[in-house]
Amino acid sequence: MTDAHQSFLDLLHTQRVWAVELPGFDPASAPPAPLPLFHRWFAEAVAAGQPEPHTMSLATVDAEGHPDVRTLMLHDADERGWHFATHRTSAKGHQLAARPYAALGFYWPAQGRQVRVRGPVTACTPAESSADLHARSTGALASALTGSQSEVLGSAEELARTADAAWERARAEPDAVVASWTRYVVEAREVEFFQGDARRRHVRLRYRARDAAWTRELLWP
């Protein structure tokens, strides 16, 4: 083992999790459907000072079945499912076109909580996707106008030129069309709520969609 590797391990092993008082969670009091509980936990994460609680991991697989994951923002969570957006020409856009199924992961360490969502993914209409983009900031529009997401970049200078031009256009044309921008919805088939416990007696409550209803079940930690 090299000194650099040993230094990494020493640093890794000194890290601790949940150095705060964790809330309790009684699964018997959980609502019959997962969405109200997700809304409640999200609000509690915000109140607890959790940085960027609206960020989540999105896991997909490519045409060969190889997994991929990245972090992005939640755009909504409603009766349809959990919403996010990206270019359909991006790597994740291509992966969702080939295999329209995904998993989401939220982690809120300020309260020792995780939420996992799994299900098929559908693309929203062009009108809804456009409305999604134009409801966001000028910077978000500029980023979308930069385009070419996930493609090989020739140089940092090329990015700077393209991004500067995109910012100018976003300011001049706040309604500019980005045809590839697509809003997606994960239609949840499974939603799991994880509440950490300092004594490792974690609570895991899983909702599973069955016809028009949800079933609830506890899982071993």
As a whole number of Å, the CA-based R_g of the chain is: 20
CA distance 104 to 122: 14
- Please write the tens of the pLDDT for every residue from 46-58: 999 999 999 999 9
Write out pLDDT tens, residues 89-98.
999 999 999 9
pLDDT mean over 116-127? 96
7-41 pLDDT, tens digit each? 999 999 999 888 889 999 999 999 999 999 999 99
Question: In the chain, pLDDT over 70 holds for what percent of residues?
Answer: 100
Look up residue 148 and give its two tokens: 């070419």
| pLDDT above 80 (res 147) | no
Whole-prediction pTM: 0.92
Query: Which structure tokens are listed for 115?
Result: 């939420």
Nearest to residue 74, comparing CAs of 40, 44, 104?
A: 104
Q: How far apart, in whole angstroms, are the C-alpha atoms of residue 120 and residue 153?
A: 31
Do residues 41 and 195 touch, judged by C-beta distance below 8 A? no
Q: Is the pLDDT of residue 86 over 90?
A: yes
Strands 76-78, 67-73: pairing is unpaired
**Contact of 198 with 18, CB cutoff 8 Å:** yes
Angle between helices 138-146 and 156-172 in degrees, nearest 10 = 130
